[in-house]
Amino acid sequence: MSALNRFALSFGMGALWFLSQWVQPAYAEYYQSSSTKSVGRWGIQAQRFKGGNTDSGTQGLMLGFRSSRYLYKGFSLGIEAVAGAPEDGSIVDNNLLYTGLTLGWDQSFFKILTYEMNVLVGYGYGKSSNLGVSGDGFTIQPQLGLGFVLVNGYRITFAPGYLYMPRTNGFSGFTFSIRFDRKSEDGPSKPVNN
């Protein structure tokens, strides 16, 4: 990875972090001045990746975090970052990192089940010695999820999706994520169980 690419990736991730720190208090201030409450959601995820142009069938493990704010009746805007090894083996020889903005929608039914749809649009970089690919570029990842509402706003979601990196075709492929996150109102002290 060239120095310019590293700088661009670091700058992009820093800009997303700054945006999340600026947007969240702005929404909280707006909602506190109105009768509507600010609802947010944040958590971690583990993701398996099945992609590339290989018949080896090996799958690595990717880890990530997500944070979002609800804008209107189930619609949310947030950030997400995922990194790890897309194939089994050394993370030095096989690595993938992508981050971006997410737009999502979710609903619950029977007060215990949830379903959601979201799409990530951002930037990614990866290298795979097994696939013989290395590169960076635009990333898009649509996902559908089905999950369970636990207690105190916690929820677990199972989400298949598809990662698409058009400039680095070897990294396009199906993903499966398990997410553990928490939905709360006006900060972490008031859980939301719907």
Give pLDDT, residue 74. Answer: 83
Average pLDDT over residues 48-57: 58
pLDDT (tens digit per residue) in 102-113: 999 988 888 889
By the 10 Å C-beta count (0-12 exposed, 13-18 middle, 19+ buried), 149 is classed as: buried
CA distances from 56 to 46, 49, 53, 96 (A): 21, 13, 9, 18
Backbone phi, psi, residue 130, to 5°: -65, -40
Query: What is the per-residue pLDDT for 185?
Result: 78
Q: Helix (H, G, I), strand (E, B), or coil: what is residue 186?
A: coil
| Cα 167 versus chain centre, distance | 20
Burial call 5-43: b when 16+ CB within 10 Å, e when fewer: eeeebeeebeebeeebeeebeebbeebeeeeeebbbbbb
Query: What sign for the dihedral angle of Cα 66, 70, 76, 77?
Result: negative
pLDDT given at position 91: 76
Predicted confidence (pLDDT) at residue 145 exceeds the cutoff of 60: yes
Stronger pLDDT, 35 or 78, i.e. the higher one: 78
Q: Smallest Cα–Cα separation from 46: which of 67, 63, 65?
A: 63
Q: Does domain 3-191 have CATH number 2.40.160.20?
A: yes
pLDDT of 53: 46
Least confident of 33-42, 81-90, 120-129, 163-172: 33-42
Q: Show me where the domains of the chain are located.
A: 3-191
- Token pair belonging to 165: 């990196």
The amino acid present at 192, given as its one-letter code, is V
Q: Mean pLDDT, the chain, as a whole number?
A: 78
